[in-house]
Structure formats: C-alpha cells, structure tokens
Amino acid sequence: MDKQLRIRPYQITDLEDILTIFDSNVPQYFAASERADLIRYLQEEIADYFVVLQQDRLIGAGGINYDADGTTARLSWDFIDQNFQKSGAGTFLTHYRIQHALAKENIDTIMVRTSQLAEAFYAKQGFHVLERITDYWAPGFDMVNMRYQP
C-alpha cells in the first residue's frame, strides 16, 4: 500500500471528483442508473462519508450509515478510481471505516450491501454472505448482504 494514502471527511467540493470516479466504475461495478441514487445519498442520506487521497488527488470514497437500532453500521457507496484499483486503496478505506464505526458507542455489527461483483473483495476483508437478491440494484447487479466477522 502506498504510504501517501490518507483519508479525510467528504466535503461538498468533492462531489464532481466523486461522480467522475463513480462513472469510471460503470458498467464494471455499477449500473449507470445508480448515479442518481449516489447523488441523492450525498445530498440527503449521508451519515459519515470519507474520501481517500493519494498525495492530494482524490482517488476514492466510501461511507457509513447507522441503523436506528444504534448497534449496526452499514458500509455504503464505496468505490476507487479504476486507475488505482488493486493498489491497496480500497482495503485501506474499508479498514478505516470499520475502525471508525467500531469506535462509536454501541456499534457491534458491521454490514455491507454490495453486488456480486465486489463480493470477493469484501470476503477478503472478513465479511460473510447472509443473503443474495438477484437483479436488486439493476438487471445483472445482484444485492449481496454481508456481515463483518473478523
């Protein structure tokens, strides 16, 4: 992993860079129709959202939302620029969010709802499949509900 990686909270000025990175992951990891959902999330549903930078270049982003029960954190809307995938940036961002969530009082469960296309990545991070729903996000993009069990 490049030691120049760092994470900071999302700022509204990051929006265009985040959308460009999202677009770089369509159609390999996301359906184009999900872009509007991402914008709505960033404008209305955001809880904790972070960007990962290599030196000063924004190369990825990912968030955490919290269930009303106060004990469950859900990793959300994470992606890394296509040019930086397999560099360790995704693992760095995922570990950061797991630790951030676990540092909150009462959080004892971490979940992620992802697609079958990122399932293997999350399995390597310690997540296990609980449920699978075909074509949930869009045709060809299944929802895989996973729980963190280190």
8 Å CB contact between 145 and 130? yes
pLDDT, tens only, 120-136 = 999 999 999 999 999 98
CA angle 34, 37, 39 (to 5 degrees): 115
What is the rounded CA–CA span in Å between residue 109 and residue 95?
14
User: Quick check: 2 pLDDT over 60?
Assistant: no
CB 61 within 8 A of CB 53: no
Which residue segment(s) compose the domain that 110 sits in?
5-148
Contact 149, 110 (CB under 8 A): no
Confidence (pLDDT) at 1: 47
CA dist 136 → 44, 52, 53, 110, 126 (Å): 22, 28, 31, 21, 23
Q: pLDDT digit string (tens) for 6-59?
A: 999 999 999 999 999 999 999 989 989 999 999 999 999 889 999 999 999 999
Domain tally, the chain: 1
> What is the model's pTM?
0.91
CATH of residue 16's domain is: 3.40.630.30
